[in-house]
Amino acid sequence: MGTDRGTATEGEHADEVAAVLARYGRIPKSVPIRLAKPTSNLFRFRSSSQQASLDVSGLDRVLEVDPDNRTAEVQGMVTYERLVDATLPYGLMPRVVPQLKTITIGGAIAGLGIESTSFRNGLPHESVLEMEILTGDGRVVLARPDNEHADLFRGFPNSYGSLGYALRLVIELEPVEPHVRLRHVRFDSVSDCAEALSRICADHEYEDRRVDFVDGTVFGSHETYLTLGTFVTEGPPTSDYTGRHVYYRSIQRRELDRLSIRDYLWRWDTDWFWCSRAFGAQHPLVRPLWPRRYRRSDVYRKLVALDRRLGLTDRISRWRGQPPNEPVIQDVEIPLERLAEFLDFFEREIGISPVWLCPVRLRDSQGWSLYPMDPETLYVNVGFWSTVGLDGGKPMGTHNRAIEEKVTELDGHKSLYSTSYYDEEEFWRLYNRPAYERLKRCYDADGRLPGLYEKCVRDK
């Protein structure tokens, strides 16, 4: 491949790995380590500054796209935006492309990712064939499902950099067509939606038309939509939701739509689902003045980080005599048969709308040790990203803790990219402490990297 910032040669990769190892070795063993990279999609805003930054920003390129074997070899910090730009010219895409452009592939594997192909392709880490990992003890190991590091391969997803960092990965790709035809199907009850979702995910079709993509949007208990996408080669002009129009609003207004494959993959990024409205970016008078290059999820996330740092929203609430706001930013996996029960609780107790739905079933029957979903169960990811007022002097975390308890009650799982309030005993009951401790002893015995509980719960 070439040598621009989009691609790298194997020699350049080896040089960058050597530089990262040297930087790692210079960090005192007593100092906690975190990654230094230009973007983040985590919503755990660290309060601690007593951490060393490991610069891995140079590991952000594509090494090779192999169209014959339908694979890509990539560095760990490459964003999905850059990866998609490299694969689409070959008529290929990653099997699962998380919704936001600046999610890195290493982040999606060490954390979790999901999208509308997950009902047939599982989670992003299930498309990984091998990983080159810098472990906490300073080694670079090659982890595959069939070698001496298979335990690390299985335990790396949901480890959030507490065992090591992905330097290079080989992933599977799948063929695409130029356009995606969308059908927004309305349901007047969540139970009817769940019943249809069960059939669609089993048959990969709806009303005799193939379904390649499935996600959903809940506007209220009596207004839920499934958006069913099908690859097509030709058709009428496609819609454009990177300009004046807002994608999520089209769901209620249009039964049929058509997007280019690239615009489909990033349909949620322009407005960060619906969250750009909090910054006025959807207002008809403001939107034309908001530069298109800044209508991106990473820009909005930086605005949120600035607000958290300065406390602007809370100051405004106090000035208006309103209660403080609790950020409720979470993704949870709920078994399909319990979805209606969860959404009833959520509408009654939390009240955020809209809510995103994305069905997922694991591809791999062996499962993944630190995020123990049942491979035989069809789950629905429920995503919600907003704030809720803390009336009556309720403490921060009240709503998030209620959600955690409900998710556990319903045999669900919660992603750890945002704030968590589990006590240590409950956390490890949910996230497989024995498996984690075996991996920690093997790959980071001296604890150079923060532990999973410390990183995901305590450091907030």
Contacts of 432 (CB under 8 A, 6+ apart): 369, 370, 372
Nearest to 169 by CA among 236, 232, 83, 282: 83
Q: Nearest 5°: phi and psi at 267?
A: -60, -30
Q: Measured in whole angstroms, how far is the alpha carbon of residue 154 from the centre of its chain?
A: 19
Cα(283)–Cα(285) distance, rounded to whole angstroms?
5
Q: What is the DSSP letter of 104?
A: B
**pLDDT attached to residue 122:** 97
**pLDDT attached to residue 1:** 39
Least confident of 174-178, 318-322, 393-397, 418-422: 318-322
**pLDDT attached to residue 46:** 61
Tokens representing 333 are 């996996």
Contacts of 96 (CB under 8 A, 6+ apart): 113, 114, 115, 117, 118, 121, 122, 123, 124, 126, 127
Cα(161)–Cα(139) distance, rounded to whole angstroms?
14
Identify whether the C-beta of residue 228 lies closer than 8 Å to the C-beta of residue 213.
yes
**pLDDT attached to residue 2:** 39
Q: Which long-range contacts link 311-314 to residues 24+ away (Cβ below 8 Å)? A: 313/387
More confident residue, 331 or 318: 331
List pLDDT tens digits, range 392-439: 889 999 999 999 999 999 999 999 999 999 999 999 999 999 999 999
List pLDDT tens digits, range 112-162: 999 999 999 999 999 999 999 999 999 999 999 999 999 999 999 999 999
Tokens representing 94 are 């990653």
Cα(420)–Cα(375) distance, rounded to whole angstroms?
25
Tell me if the bond preceding 89 is cis, omega within 30° of 0: no
Contacts of 39 (CB under 8 A, 6+ apart): 79, 102, 104, 298, 301
Q: Is the pLDDT of residue 3 over 50?
A: no
More confident residue, 73 or 234: 73
- Going from the N-terminus, what domains does the chain have, and what CATH number goes with each? 10-176+447-458 (3.30.465.10)
Residue 119's SS3 state is helix
Q: Is the pLDDT of residue 353 over 80?
A: yes
